Structure 1
Amino acid sequence: MTDSATVAAQTPAAQDRALPPDGPSSPAGHSGMPALSRFGIPLGLAGLGGAWSAARSSLGSPMWPEEILYGAASSLWLILTALYVFRGLRRKGTFRADLKHELAGPFASFIPLVGILLTAHYSQYLPPWGAWLCMAFIAALAIVAAQLLAHWVTGGVSMQSIHPGYLLPVVPGFFVASIGFSSIHSHDAATAAFGIGAFFWLVIGTVVTVRLMAGGESPPAAKTGLSAYLAAPATANIAWMVSHPGPVGAVQLGLTGVLVIMALMQVMLLPEYRKIPFTQMFWVFTFAVGATTNYAIRWLATTGLPGRDIYAWTILGLATAFTLVLAARTAPK
């Protein structure tokens, strides 16, 4: 049965849910996707900033690239958050409606997620305020994730609307929370956050994969969310490595294997990505690429691989070039 026939056979209520979420019939069509997708830009810049931070520790790179990236991410995040809050004050229930947006809802987690990345970086300059802010954003992420989960498990979404972006709040989100806890030296909390991410990686990852394998083709706007398959193992690897310093153990090797196969899958998906019209949602790729680069640099530093520094610089250069290309395409003409 084709997708159109499937929709036609549904009840009217189900048909409403099956419509493209950014269309006129979307419950948050007035906002949702356009507003929340913009937060992918500071998320990607902060992710690349983390890669340059790893390069400073492992390769002796200068500090200025990471500070420029984190500074740009901070400025954009503050501006976008202020605009989003201002719009919400004018329209009561905006954030709640955006959370229920079947396509864009998971991206509401970008707001606290970027906050965690920024405060984890700046906490080294602002003790103890940085640590408190980092914990506050982790708490905000937990609240947003809990709201999303409560909405999802009470029939708030249709199976047809589920896409890989549903992984972002509860899988990479909590792995980033683990990284944040490690940055403020809260090892037990970092382990707990890692456990949450691992649990939902199994649970939500299974649901999403079944949907993609058996539920028909996803809308083009949702296909950028396939980068979450890369972001999940990348952030998991970083989280485990920073919370378990020392020789690489069995868990780290297993997670690295998952990252490698997910990176290969992304390469195989390139023909599909080339078919998608360019939008701001492409910035979610930069976070996955930045996190993968971050871990690759850290992992290479633990090996005795000949030419490891050359490999690390090459990967970092490609990730930076990729982000610059997206920035050029996003800039107003």
Structure 2
Amino acid sequence: MRRDRPSPYRLTPNLFGVGFGVAGLAQAWALAEDTVDAPSWPADVLWISAAVIWLVTVAAYLRNVIGQGRLRTELPDATTGPFTSLAVIVPMLFGIALAPHARVAGRTVFVVFLVLTVLLGGWLTGLWIRVDTRLDQWHPGYFLPTVAGGLIAAEGSAMLGFTTLAHVMLGYGVICWFVLGSILLVRLFTQPALPPPLLPTIAIELAPPVVAGNAWFAINGGRLDIVAAFLAGYAVLMVLVQLTLVTTYRRSPFGPGYWAFAFSYASAFTDGVHWLGIEHVHGLDSLTYVLLALATAALLALAYRTILGLVRGTFLPRSG
């Protein structure tokens, strides 16, 4: 009987960042439908693409992990473990997108994966307390399980009518942001630089204020208030920080880690579309389409580099 040869590649959970990034851009286009009456087809195409990518990634990742005997070591891994949370965070976004077309199904998908996100976030947080992890092993991907998961859950809960749950998940995400953010900034400020493959994870530092901003607009009905202004202030700082890191990012070889840019930046553009619409800025339509064009072009560039890397065999890390 013929046995399948083991894969020469090691599929890591940051591959779920591909579908995550595509879903983030879909959110931006979906918001533009409401603010400037943008066509619905870009968001629809992106949502379908994100779902297909997520399904393919789940199947390929599980096959690779099981085939290489890594099932018990993936979650505890100090480097890649936090990215496993994206496998359950991304479907929450699908539930939000599905709800306007099939409300019961969308809400069910959202709630099921919200529960899984909270359970996994709790398990990983307990793990980080129990194990001996050096500070220099930490990276901004540690925001994903509880901060990203909590804030996305807060936004989705508000959009789907779960008002109290939205407030609970906002508290969950924001408090985790304050706690983990202080640790991560100390790590980035005082420890040796991140290894080159992990440098793009610094883009995730932009995500908390803009994802929290999007969640807050969903909760408060799209009004400008002191909370929205506070979040915007920190978001501006993080945008400026990203601009200073361009040469730093260029030291990282292109690989799955580069998809850390996709959702973070797409969420920043989404937050920008919110602000343009709420402020009724002159030239709203044109400015919104400029933001969408930039976000879409950036994602297409990532997709092109990814496909090229897959064809050349340079995108995925080798096993062993």
What TM-score comes out, normalization by structure 1 length?
A: 0.87
- 155 and 293 in structure 1: CA distance in 2 versus 1, 3 angstrom threshold: same
C-alpha displacement of 1:160: 1.5
| Secondary structure in 2 matching 1:170 | helix
C-alpha displacement of 1:137: 0.4
Query: RMSD across aligned C-alpha pairs, in angstroms?
Result: 1.6
| Secondary structure in 2 matching 1:169 | helix
Write out per-residue CA displacement over residues 139-168 of structure 1, whole angstroms, 9 at most, x where no aligned residue.
Answer: 111111111111111134221100111112
CA distance in 2 between partners of 1:244 and 1:112 (Å): 26
C-alpha displacement of 1:35: 2.8
- 328 and 128 in structure 1: CA distance in 2 versus 1, 3 angstrom threshold: same
- In structure 1, the partner of 2:219 is 243
Contact 1:164 1:222 in 2 (8 A): no
- Please point out which of 41, 45, 50 is paired with 2:27: 50
- In structure 1, the partner of 2:119 is 143
Contact 1:100 1:156 in 2 (8 A): no
- 229 and 235 in structure 1: CA distance in 2 versus 1, 3 angstrom threshold: same
Alignment of 1:73-88 (within 5 A): 73-88=50-65
- In structure 2, the partner of 1:41 is 18
Bigger mean CA offset, 121-130 vs 294-303: 121-130
Contact 1:181 1:190 in 2 (8 A): yes
CA distance in 1 between partners of 2:53 and 2:167 (Å): 31
Contact 2:18 2:259 in 1 (8 A): yes
CA distance in 2 between partners of 1:219 and 1:93 (Å): 22
- 75 and 246 in structure 1: CA distance in 2 versus 1, 3 angstrom threshold: closer
Contact 1:48 1:319 in 2 (8 A): yes
| Secondary structure in 1 matching 2:146 | coil
Contact 1:36 1:107 in 2 (8 A): yes
CA distance in 2 between partners of 1:279 and 1:267 (Å): 21
Q: Does residue 214 of structure 1 match 2:190? A: yes
Write out per-residue CA displacement over residues 289-319 of structure 1, whole angstroms, 9 at most, x where no aligned residue.
Answer: 1111111111110113322332221111101
CA distance in 1 between partners of 2:166 and 2:223 (Å): 19
- Please point out which of 229, 232, 246 is paired with 1:270: 246
Identity %: 29
CA distance in 1 between partners of 2:177 and 2:222 (Å): 25
| Secondary structure in 1 matching 2:12 | helix
Amino acid at match of 1:321: A
Alignment of 1:168-187 (within 5 A): 168-187=144-163
- In structure 2, the partner of 1:230 is 206
Contact 2:20 2:90 in 1 (8 A): yes
CA distance in 2 between partners of 1:261 and 1:103 (Å): 27
- In structure 1, the partner of 2:306 is 330
Bigger mean CA offset, 35-44 vs 317-326: 35-44
- In structure 2, the partner of 1:63 is 40
Bigger mean CA offset, 205-214 vs 123-132: 123-132
Q: Does residue 130 of structure 1 match 2:102? A: no
CA distance in 2 between partners of 1:143 and 1:247 (Å): 32
CA distance in 2 between partners of 1:293 and 1:323 (Å): 12
Write out per-residue CA displacement over residues 26-51 of structure 1, whole angstroms, 9 at most, x where no aligned residue.
Answer: xxxx85xx331211110000000000
- In structure 1, the partner of 2:274 is 298
Contact 1:237 1:295 in 2 (8 A): yes
- In structure 1, the partner of 2:129 is 153
Contact 1:123 1:131 in 2 (8 A): yes
Contact 2:152 2:215 in 1 (8 A): yes
| Secondary structure in 1 matching 2:279 | coil
Deviating runs (4+, > 6 A) in structure 1?
none
Aligned length: 301
Gaps of 5+ in 1: 1-29
- In structure 2, the partner of 1:20 is none
What TM-score comes out, normalization by structure 2 length?
A: 0.90
